[in-house]
Amino acid sequence: MADEVISAVPEGLDISKITAEPSRISSVRLVQQRAAVDESLGLLANLVGTWEGEGFNLIARPDKEGGSPLFLELNQTFESLSFIPISSSIPNRGSAVNDVTLFGLTYLQKIVDLVTGGALHIEPGIWVHIPSQDVVGKSQSVARMGTIPHGNSLLAQGVAIDVNPVPGGTFAIDTISAVNTSPFPTGGTIPLAGTLSAFPPYNLALTTPAAVNFRTPAGDVPAVPLPATILGLNMQTIIKDPAALLKAAIKNQTIESMVVINIATVASLLQAQPAPAPPKDILAGFSAGGGVEDIPFLKSNANVATVFATFWLETIKGPTPDENFLQLQYVQTVMLDFPVITPGTPPGALLSWPHVSVATLHKVFGGQ
């Protein structure tokens, strides 16, 4: 059937009241000068360039073929993270509200295992600044869109704040909150940060087959063990709280100013606090939201349900003001939902397994 052609004005529409006002946002988007690009990016501007450094990755993944409820993968990592500004504006046209303009950067994240050299992660994506949602003098609205080749896409929105100068002239390292790596019932309250999981692979003191056969370096060829310590922290401490590595990295530094970015794919998350305090919404005040989409295989095997992260873009004091330098640290948690399954038994309750990544990065030669 041929497409219907509308040849008359719809009933009730008074075309005499339609005015042809000039568009507030031009349909022609030309490349801006660099200073204008930086200003439009707001607190994201100093991300531009290439960053490299070391970090750590912890992920419990299902292991049906191995006959275990999980395999605990632990990686000391090397990372490259590059940002390129999108030098024109990004208009979003409104129907219920006026048009808004976004500004952004593309990024490419590549992570390899520092011990084995094996590939771990690659993620192209975009960060955007949403000026229309900024709270003047307090925070800027930002969002990250990423694509992961396992079959996931994420949108995580949140806020960036400028801490300049850092109160007291230095950054209190305890401001970096401990994180949780222990699994918990899906939909429940996140356990207290630093909780050691009862599953054997998490406990390095256990040397039973149920522990050592289902954690790194088992499965690696050759099976090169992780170092006993990283930055002076023993491996068990790192497994309980990978964010401790970020604190260790800045222990002897003076951070003069920083931009703190908090993003998440959900609006709120409750986490247990030391008694007698009640659970706390760890995303309160971040205007977070978005979502994650997974391919069907992941939905039924290891569903990626939630992502939340904090980034610290830090100005580190050097011997002289001319020798100050930028440093980028982050901690990210991805919740993988899958049940405990052992051979010959029905699946257990659905659990959320925290996949935690941290890194401390510096701009490399050639970075802007």
Q: What is the pLDDT of residues 164-181, one digit of tens each?
A: 888 765 666 656 788 999
Please report which confidence band the pLDDT of residue 215 belongs to, taking 50, 70 and 90 as the band edges.
Answer: very high
pTM (whole model) above 0.75:
yes
Residue 17 has pLDDT above 90, yes or no: no
- The beta-strand segments (E) located in the chain are 49-63, 68-92, 100-113, 119-129, 140-148, 152-163, 184-185, 229-230, 233-234, 255-264, 270-271, 280-281, 289-294, 303-316, 325-339, 350-363
| Greater model confidence, 129 or 66 | 129
- pLDDT (average), residues 78-86: 97
Q: Which of 92-101, 144-153, 173-182, 221-230 has the highest mean pLDDT?
A: 144-153
Q: Label residue 44 by pLDDT band (50, 70, 90).
A: very high
> What DSSP element (H or E) covers 236?
helix 235-240
**What's the pLDDT band for 222 if we cut at 50, 70, 90?**
confident
In the beta sheet, which residues pair with residue 303?
337
- Domains delineated in the chain: 29-363 (2.40.128.20)
Q: How many CB atoms lie within 10 A of CB 5?
A: 5
Banded model confidence at residue 89, pLDDT cuts 50, 70, 90: confident
Q: Within 10 A of 110 (CB to CB), how many other CB atoms are there?
A: 16
pLDDT of residue 20: 54
Question: What tens digit of pLDDT does each residue of 101-160 get?
Answer: 999 999 999 999 999 999 999 999 999 999 999 998 899 999 999 999 999 999 999 999
Mean pLDDT of the chain: 90
- CB atoms inside a 10 Å sphere around CB 118: 11
